[in-house]
Amino acid sequence: MSDEPTRTQVRIAVVLFALTVTAGAVDAITFLGLGHAFAALTTGNVLFLGFGVARTGTPVARPAEALAAFVLGVAAADVVVTRLHRRGRHWFARALAVETALIVLAGLVVIGTSGRRTPAEHVMAVAAVLLAAAMGWRNRVMYQVRIPDMPTTVIQMTLVKLLVDVLSRKPAPPRDTRRSPGPAPPGDTGTSPGPAPPDDARIPPGPAPPDDARIAPGPAGPGDAGMSLGPAPPGGPRSPRRPVPPDDAELSRVRRLATVLGVFVGGVIGALLLRLGAGYALLCVAGLVVCAAAFYSRSPRLRPPPADRSGQER
């Protein structure tokens, strides 16, 4: 991997980390300062609606409003982003501008009506709706971007992948490279001192038989991650579906860690900014989104990763 693509990927990862922080901050401000609802974490809103169905007296108006606004934000972004993408135009910075405008509008509504005081219920509702629409817009934009492991708003599967990376990083067992001290007995072309099992992938001295493609030096077939010399030993690590370059694997780990930390850091920042008042806190978050957009303007246009023949993302 050359230095320029590496710098570009790191720069884009920094942008998405900043956006992840803003999503965590928006959820913190919405939940703690604008009523018990989430702007980005729609799972929480759905749970609140379920609580309201099961237990009378549980407030469901704010989660329902936020969920409806989230859906509208996704639908609006789908129309705009799809058209810009088909025309081959640069749409990511424009999408961030729309999101920033919604966050700023929510902040100004709170400041104009309440200043640094606790907003009235109807003001909270308007601000929460605007923020949920902004996060719905963000989610549709990130779906179009398709940067692996950095959705900027949710971390469930990213956290699972990160834990799998940590748990699966075990030292490989040492390979036995010793050779047989003498000529192999008749009928045995391997290096094992005893009889080989029926499925043993021994390398014959001549060309491989037609039905043996396990040691073919050509491109690996579907589901084959390289030149396999037979099935892995019981309990041994399984080969991935495709060989992943070391640089790409390390970048994926960094992205996953950045996503998890970004949501945590955003929650902390949002809770601290509430000391300024919900409106001013939202203006600070909008400023961070602007900084991320400005930093992105120095990077090439975001593109989805290449897909294989079946249309699946790599």
User: Contact 39/270 with Cβ under 8 angstroms?
Assistant: no
* Segment 10-36 mean pLDDT: 91
Instruction: Give the whole-angstrom CA distance, residue 262 versus residue 27.
Output: 12
Q: Is 71 left (phi over 0), alpha (psi -120 to 50) or beta?
A: alpha
> DSSP letters of 42-109?
HHHHHHHHHHHHHSTT---HHHHHHHHHHHHHHHHHHHHHHHHHHTT---HHHHHHHHHHHHHHHHHH
Taking all residues of the chain, what is their mean pLDDT, rounded to a whole number?
75
> Strand, helix or coil at 220?
coil
The ranges assigned to domains in the chain are 9-166+245-296
192-225 pLDDT tens trace: 444 544 444 444 555 544 444 443 444 444 434 3
Band (pLDDT 50/70/90 cuts) for residue 232 is very low
CA angle 93, 97, 101 (to 5 degrees): 170
Instruction: Output the pTM of the full model.
Output: 0.68
Would the pLDDT of 244 be above 80? no
100-150 pLDDT tens trace: 999 999 999 999 999 989 899 999 999 999 999 999 999 999 888 878 777
> Nearest-CA neighbor of 161 among 170, 150, 171?
150
Which pair of structure tokens corresponds to residue 102?
A: 């919604």
CB atoms within 10 A of CB 13: 18
Which pair of structure tokens corresponds to residue 78?
A: 């789908």
260-297 pLDDT tens trace: 899 999 999 999 999 999 999 999 999 999 998 888 87
Band (pLDDT 50/70/90 cuts) for residue 75 is very high
* Segment 156-182 mean pLDDT: 63
| pLDDT for 150 | 74
User: Contact 288/266 with Cβ under 8 angstroms?
Assistant: no
DSSP 138: H
Q: Which fold has domain 9-166+245-296?
A: Growth Hormone; Chain: A; (1.20.1250)
| pLDDT for 220 | 43
